[in-house]
Amino acid sequence: MLVQTAVMAQPVVIAHRGASGYLPEHTLAAKAMAHAMGADYLEQDLVLTRDGELVVLHDLYLDRVSDVASKFPGRARADGRHYVIDFTLDELRQLNIAERRKTDNPQDPTLAFPGRFGLNQSRFGVHTFKEELELIRELNRTTGRAVGIYPEIKSPSFHHQNGQDIALAALKVLKDYGYTINDGSVYLQSFDPHELKRLKTELKPKLQVNLPLVQLIARTDWQITEEQLSTGQWVNYDYDWMLAPGAMETIAQYADGVGPHIGMLLDNQNGKLEPNDLVRQAQAQGLVVHPYTVRADALPEGVGSIDELHDLLFKQAGVNGVFTDFPDLTVRYLGR
Ligand code: G3P
Ligand code: CA
């Protein structure tokens, strides 16, 4: 199995939603392709169905990657979206999954990333977390490789508000599939610091597992996480402290790594992007740093090529790995 700590030099390649630059995100085909491309880890975004099954999908709702609106008319919520948590696994299996579209409008064929896999070409479906773990286990066995997993529990606050405990559900499946120790085969990630603390102090001891936790860092105005006040009210979580001095020391008390957005690591100095101090501060606290997301077709402003971005992240900033939509290009850059 892979073993990595913050002080080890070998950076890791995390296939973001699989080889999502080449195939529709989070399909089993995209995961198999990323495995074959030499990724060290395959990412799973996890959401719960109405009947409590973990499925591998990025959004809480289905509208941008499926034909849910035509298959299940009348099942949208008031905001017009069709939420995974309102559908059973059997219902989700009736959907066709396709390349991500830019909007929720089913009539709008604009892709989120123009030039990627064609809309509604071939046939893909929804699969469970367990099915993906089985795919990876069997691919590891048949290829003799030891590719790890990097699951993210999506919006625990939303799941709690809908009567589901996604952190507990994910941990149970991980334990059932043999992911129980910190041996480099798994990282468990979340944007929700309250849930990460709960995992560390309550759920991991309860299930007797010891998996490394990664705090994903968002901008507050993305409105990605809600927290519950003592009054019971749910409010937008304020991430600003995570980018302030001293934050890494606090995060290191409950997590083993951080996943910042790439833009949080790079400052614009007179028109030139230069790394700031965040990576060094995190690593000084023993945290690994795995920023998201390297995309050859959506480079940060001022960056001319994917390898220029690789240089900035690996050589200048000194990250311990990256989430990448193009695992082959990151593997090649690292000379593997
Ligand atoms: O989990 C790392 C990265 O994937 C976070 O962003 O929105 O793609 O899940 P997102
Ligand atoms: Ca993710």
CA-atom Rg of the chain in angstroms: 19
User: Cα separations (Å) of 266 from 170, 258, 269, 277?
Assistant: 33, 15, 9, 9
pLDDT surpasses 50 at 131: yes
* Model confidence at 2: pLDDT above 50: no
Is the model's pLDDT at 96 over the cut of 60?
A: yes
pLDDT band at 4 (very low <50, low <70, confident <90, very high): very low
C-alpha distance from residue 134 to each of 30, 178, 180, 282 (Å) = 15, 11, 16, 34
pLDDT band at 1 (very low <50, low <70, confident <90, very high): very low
Write the class of the CATH domain 12-60+127-333. alpha beta
Best mutation site among 47, 58, 152 for ligand 1, i.e. most ligand atoms within 8 A of its Cβ? 152
Of all protein residues, whose CA lies closest to atom 1 belonging to ligand 1? 152
Mean pLDDT of the chain: 96
How does pLDDT run across 199-213, given as a tens digit for each residue? 999 999 999 999 999
Nearest residue CA, atom 2 of ligand 1?
A: 292
User: Which residue of the set 58, 127, 159, 290 is catalytic?
Assistant: 58
pLDDT digits (tens, 9 = 90+) for 258-271: 999 999 999 998 88
**pLDDT (tens digit per residue) in 37-87:** 999 999 999 999 999 999 999 999 999 999 999 999 999 999 999 999 999
The stretch 24-36 carries a mean pLDDT of: 98
Of ligand 1's atoms, which has the minimum distance to the CA of residue 290? 2
In this model, does residue 236 exceed pLDDT 60? yes
Confidence at 120, pLDDT banded by 50, 70, 90: confident
Proportion of the chain above pLDDT 70, given as a percent: 97
Write out the two tokens for 235.
């409010």
Per-residue pLDDT for 153 more than 50? yes
Q: Nearest C-alpha to atom 3 of ligand 1 is from which residue?
A: 292
Q: Which residue has the higher pLDDT, 220 or 269?
A: 220
Average pLDDT of the residues in 164-178: 98
List the domain boundaries for the chain: 12-60+127-333
Q: Cα angle at 25 between 17 and 92, to 5 degrees?
A: 110
Mean predicted confidence (pLDDT) in 138-146: 98
**To which H or E segment does residue 228 belong?**
strand 226-228
Task: Cite the beta strand spans of 39-187 per DSSP E.
Answer: 41-48, 54-56, 148-153
Q: Is 213 exposed, middle or buried (0-12, 13-18, 19+ CB in 10 A)?
A: buried
Residue range 187-197: mean pLDDT, rounded: 98
Q: Quick one: average pLDDT of 177-185?
A: 97
The mean pLDDT value for 114-137 works out to: 97
Q: Please report the atom of ligand 1 found closest to the CA of residue 45.
A: 9
pLDDT cut 90: percent of the chain above it: 96
* Integer Cα distance of 198 and 224 in angstroms: 18
Task: Note the pLDDT of residue 43.
Answer: 99
Active site residue 16: yes
- Residue 9 — pLDDT band, cuts 50, 70, 90? low
Mean pLDDT of 187-198: 98
Q: What is the mean pLDDT of residues 22-28?
A: 98
Q: How far, in Å, is the centroid of ligand 2 from the Cα of 270?
A: 32
Residue 123 has which token pair?
A: 């046939």
Could you give phi then psi for residue 30, rounded to 5 degrees?
A: -65, -30
26 and 56 in contact (C-beta within 8 Å)?
Answer: yes
Of the pLDDT bands very low, low, confident and very high (cuts 50, 70, 90), residue 314 is very high
